[in-house]
Chain A
Amino acid sequence: MSLFSPKGIRNDAKLVRNLFAPAIPQKPTRDGYGEGIVDAAAEDRNVIVLCADLTESTRNMEFKERFPDQFVQVGVQEQLLAACGAGFALAGKIPFITSYAMFCPGRAWEQVRTNICLNDVNVKVVGSHAGVSVGPDGSTHQAIEDIAIMRVIPNMTIVSPCDAVEARKATIAAAEMKGPCYIRLAREKTPVFTTAKTPFKIGKAEIYRDGKDVAVIACGPLLHNALKAADELRKEEKIDVMVVNMHTVKPLDEKTVRMAAETCGAIVTVEEHQVTGGLGGAVAECLAKYRPTPIEFIGVQNRFGESGDPKELIEHFGMGVGSIKAAIRKALKRKT
């Protein structure tokens, strides 16, 4: 294990030292939620969990055991999950409504919009199994539209944590903030590369890597691929890539997006989501307003997912390290 961060990684990011070691510990972001929800409930007895027949896979086992009276099983009723969650919030609770992202917010969109966001109540929507990395379950269970459908709703905050540590922090922060929040989680194990000391604040992007040629703005576990792509391009082609963790997709940290565009003049967005309507869309809308900049979009290109091994699917859908490197080169060429 190296004693120092890889070259270019900012010290104040406080990332793990062995960032690109093959043996870097791996954990799904949903596990971070499972830890964070217990922390949050220990702080505030009004924190409750609503579960739709997915206790184990949404990582609510420990919460259920420790806070049985604050655990509500609703069965396979995702519309109820959202509407009933709004009711609990209206009566002063802080409900975390948990399911697969495909079903909530997916199936429950209108209840999230009307009962939660228009009502502006304190419900936290926790969508696990987002992205194609759900793997063998196939396209029916791979939510890659969830950020888009949440992003258009006023009052909604959207957080897409990059690893289990950040997911834990996001869960605690969501319980502390007032208002609706969507936390996007993944099923598959991914590298744990942030630490307890890594700064995290909802709404504030973090720059993990300085650079001046191209800026990569990423959210979710693919951020690790983005850091790796940047590291390889520095070594192989002397391309100097900035990497931004845009964990909060809404409200977008526009200041950081503009700064990245001003500094680098070209952007690549990275997300495990359709390239329309998600993080890429948000960044494009921002820069179209303030500073038109060439952007390349890494994500699923207007297709549905399919069954397969998670890593294989990430490669197949063009979100692997090689694809990100290609997008960075292309963005660099488009700079005038």
Chain B
Amino acid sequence: MPHIHEKKIKRLELVANKLRQHVIEMVAAAGSGHQGGPLGMADVFSVLYFHELRHDPKRPAWADRDRLILSNGHICPIRYAAMAESGYFPVKELLTLRKFGTRLQGHPERKRLPGTETTSGPLGGGLAQAAGMAYAAKMDEKTWRTYVVNSDAEQEIGLHWEAVLFAGKNRLDNLVSIIDRNNIQIDGDTEDIMPIEPLAEKYEAFNWHVIECNGNDIGDVVRAIEESKKIHQRPVVIVAHTIPGRGVSYMENNYLWHSQPFKPGQAEQALAELKEIERKLKADHATV
């Protein structure tokens, strides 16, 4: 059982719901962007920003913070939403996503927005950078941890596996890779486009510790991250099984919603569905 109070779980579920609403509003306002991945990863980001990460939104350059690398930069709306809600910048800035002059670029840029840790978008580069950071922390005997969120489609990339080799060789047990295993990529199902299974066995063969979890179950995500901290001498990969588009009925598990512009009424419907979930969560919350 994870060391988290039932009340905290409910609160994190509400946060995740709030982040999802922001994602819909942001992408609708931008007229382009990604919905499937950000909605699917809302629970993981809720846990990271509001429970697990050692961070201080007022001091994004704090030397001892945990590092969170977003390798699949295209799901940045969920990161931006989590950053805004936790106080890195005003929530109203979220609606500037992808617009000229914004700090919230279509794919995240470190130099424009403090707290993003690195610039990402071209897939496959995050784990290698995270491994460099984790190695540097060990060199300096620092206790901060490095988390890297990456997508299942990134498991198709050569550079990513170079980093898997590197982290395994160097026993980077201060590195946690969280794979958004939502089974979709732009052109369809990952197992049709380029099969990546058996994923767990592959990582084990590369000397990683593998933890699987339901990435849309707050308690299970917390359990997985807690377990990752107990592993020594091996990097940890958490395969987070998620539902792309989670929380919006017409998006769930439909690969076309990896990214596509809303048609009239769709964003409104999505928000209405999310608000209904919020209402139920709050009613639930009151009974806990």
Contacts and interface: CB of A to CB of B under 8 A. Distances in A.
A92 B117 CA distance: 12
B162 interface: yes
A148 interface: no
A80 B128 contact: yes
Interface residues of B, number: 29
B92 to A, nearest CB: 27
Contacts of B118: 86-87, 90, 115, 119
Nearest to A48: B139
Nearest to A91: B136
Interface of B: 67, 109-111, 117-122, 125, 128-137, 139-140, 158-159, 162-163, 165-166
Given A88-B136, A110-B122, A79 B111 contact: no
Contacts of A114: 119-122, 125
Given A80-B163, A114-B119, A119-B118, A86 B129 contact: yes
Contacts of A95: 132
B130 to A, nearest CB: 6
28 contacts: A48-B139, A77-B166, A79-B128, A79-B159, A79-B162, A80-B128, A80-B159, A80-B163, A83-B129, A84-B128, A84-B166, A86-B118, A86-B128, A87-B128, A87-B133, A87-B135, A90-B133, A91-B133, A91-B136, A91-B140, A92-B140, A93-B136, A111-B128, A114-B121, A115-B119, A115-B128, A115-B129, A119-B119
Interface string A97-124: 0000000000000110011001110000
B132 A86 contact: yes
Given A83-B159, A84-B135, A118-B119, 8 more contacts: A75-B166, A77-B165, A79-B158, A80-B166, A84-B132, A90-B118, A90-B132, A111-B159
B23 to A, nearest CB: 24
A84 B163 contact: yes
A72 interface: yes
A236 interface: no
Contacts, number: 92
Given A115-B125, A118-B109, A118-B119, A83 B132 contact: yes
A74 B166 contact: yes
Size bin of chain A's contact surface: 20 to 34
Interface string A65-91: 000011010110101100111111111
Contacts of A70: 139
Contact of A119 (B110, B133, B136): B110
Given A114-B125, A119-B118, A91 B137 contact: yes
A115 B118 CA distance: 8
Nearest to B167: A84
Contacts of B158: 79
Interface of A: 48, 69-70, 72, 74-75, 77, 79-80, 83-93, 95, 110-111, 114-115, 118-120
Given A79-B162, A90-B117, A84 B122 contact: no
A90 B129 contact: yes
Contact of B162 (A48, A72, A77, A118): A77
A194 to B, nearest CB: 35
A327 B134 CA distance: 53
Given A110-B122, A118-B109, A84 B139 contact: no
Contacts of B110: 90, 119
Nearest to B69: A87
A77 B117 CA distance: 23
B132 A87 contact: yes
B136 to A, nearest CB: 4
Nearest to A155: B111
A314 B38 CA distance: 55
Contacts of A92: 136, 140
A84 B118 CA distance: 12
B154 to A, nearest CB: 12
Nearest to B136: A91
B159 A120 contact: no
A74 to B, nearest CB: 6
A78 to B, nearest CB: 9
A87 B139 contact: no
Interchain residue pairs A-B with the least CB separation, the first 9: A87-B132, A83-B128, A91-B136, A87-B129, A80-B162, A84-B132, A77-B162, A88-B132, A79-B159
B121 to A, nearest CB: 7
Contacts of A90: 67, 110, 117-118, 129, 132-133
Nearest to A110: B122
Contacts of B137: 91
Contact of A83 (B135, B136, B163, B165): B163
A295 B272 CA distance: 68
B48 to A, nearest CB: 18
Contacts of A86: 118, 128-129, 132
A266 to B, nearest CB: 42
Contacts of A88: 132-133, 135-136
B122 to A, nearest CB: 5
Nearest to A84: B132
A91 B144 CA distance: 11
A65 to B, nearest CB: 18
B166 A93 contact: no
Contact of B165 (A75, A85, A115): A75
Nearest to B109: A118
